Structure formats: structure tokens, C-alpha cells
Amino acid sequence: DQQVKQNSPSLSVQEGRISILNCDYTNSMFDYFLWYKKYPAEGPTFLISISSIKDKNEDGRFTVFLNKSAKHLSLHIVPSQPGDSAVYFCAASGDKLIFGTGTRLQVFP
Amino acid sequence: KAGVTQTPRYLIKTRGQQVTLSCSPISGHRSVSWYQQTPGQGLQFLFEYFSETQRNKGNFPGRFSGRQFSNSRSEMNVSTLELGDSALYLCASSLGDNGNTIYFGEGSWLTVV
């Protein structure tokens, strides 16, 4: 039972354009959501988070949007850069942190 | 401030053997969680320890166990290794309250042959 889903295993975006990564969840009790970025052979690195009392959180080029009624969150990266190429995991927190399966983002010149 | 440290980084074991992985959390963090990452499966939650007690547990068989020491350092053990246990094992630490961000170590790559 996958409570957190990232339905797009991969995404390819041109440098300078917007990258939009999506995540859906099923448990309405989740109250805190996070995005992590992972390079090969490294542990995931925390990127940005959002509490369920908000619908948007912005940090530089990264913005996370939360739509609680749709149980959907998204990560926007603007403008995308080649160094953003990595696997992105969304995670939802209740009594423990549940991760999605990840989306591999490739930013090409 | 030092990050989460995991040892060993890489190891190869034979089926049927057991393995112990170690994790030192960020100073001041009292919660340590363990995750397994395999291709296509994302990050699967194993268990979480807080103040030397297991606070949460994922859906893994009893061959997977862990413990936490008084200094918050944690170990996880896998007994009777199977080929399917080959994975990246990640440790993460946090302050331990709901809503805290967790910070990951670089992981221990386990290959079972």
C-alpha cells in the first residue's frame, strides 16, 4: 500500500525552464511534507518542506505547493539548472516519514 | 556541526551471514531512523529509535533489528542474509519531534552474494 506516490519516474527539462515534480498521498492525517534531492552514491539531502497549514512555501528557486483537498503536492524549480539533475523524493510525515519512489530529473543544456 | 555518519560505507556479505551497520547522528539529535533503498522501491522505512526505544517500525521481517545507545548512536542488524537484502541502507537523524526535518547520512551499500 503506497501511501505516497510519485507517478512520474523521470522528467527531462531544458536548462532555464521550469521543472514541476508531482506527488500524491492518500492519508489525510499527514501534516508535514518534505522534498529531498539525491545524487548517486550519496544520501538524500533535504530541500524544502511545507506544513499542512500552508499551501505554498518558497525558498529561492524552489517552491512547494500543497493542495490538501486533492492530496497533492508539487515542487517547482525555476529556472532549472544542470546541477539540479538528480532523483527527487517527496515525503509525508505522520507518526513516521513515508517516502515516494522518486522522480529522476534531467536538466539538459 | 558534523552530519550523520554511517559505517561501513561498502560491504559484501554471503547469503546466510549477518551484518551490523552503525550510525552516529547529528549532535543533539535523539531520533534515528533507518531506511532501505532498492532500485524502483524508493526509500522503505525500517524503524525509528528515540531515547533508546523503538518508536516506530516498518513492514520488514524480524531478521531486521536495531538498537540505540544512550549517546543516540544506533546500529541495525540483519541476520540470515538473503540476496534480496542487497541495498543501500540509510540512516537519518532528527530532534525527534513531529514535523522535524530528518537529515540523512551517505548510506551503507550492502551487497549479498
B20-42 pLDDT per residue, tens: 999 999 999 999 999 999 876 78
User: What would the mean pLDDT of A37-55 be, rounded to a whole number?
Assistant: 92
Confidence grade of residue A1 (pLDDT, cut at 50, 70, 90): low
Question: Which string of b and e fits B33-60 if b means at least 16 CB within 10 Å?
Answer: bbbbbeeeebbbbbbbbbeeeebbebeb
DSSP tag of B105: -
In chain B, which among 53-72 make CB contacts under 8 A with chain A? 56, 58
Residues A21, A54: Cα–Cα separation, whole Å: 18
Contact B30, B51 (CB under 8 A): yes
> Which among A31, A89, A95 has CB closest to B43?
A89
Residues A95, A73: Cα–Cα separation, whole Å: 19
Query: How far B79 CA sits from the closest chain A CA (Å)?
Result: 24
A42 touches chain B (CB under 8 A): yes
Write down the pLDDT at residue A58. 97
Please give the angle made by the CA atoms of A38, A39 and A40, to the nearest 5 degrees: 120
- Residue A5 CA from chain centroid, whole number: 11
Q: Which residue of A has its CA nearest to B49?
A: A96
> Which among B4, B42, B101 has CB closest to A102?
B42
In the block, which residue shows the cell 540509510? B90
A59 touches chain B (CB under 8 A): no
Count Cβ atoms below 10 Å from residue A95 Cβ, excluding itself.
10
Count Cβ atoms below 10 Å from residue B94 Cβ, excluding itself.
22
> Which among B44, B45, B99 has CB closest to A32?
B99
B18 pLDDT higher than 60: yes
User: What would the mean pLDDT of B9-24 be, rounded to a whole number?
Assistant: 97
Q: Report which of residues B99 and A107 the model is more confident about.
A: A107
Write down the pLDDT at residue B100. 79
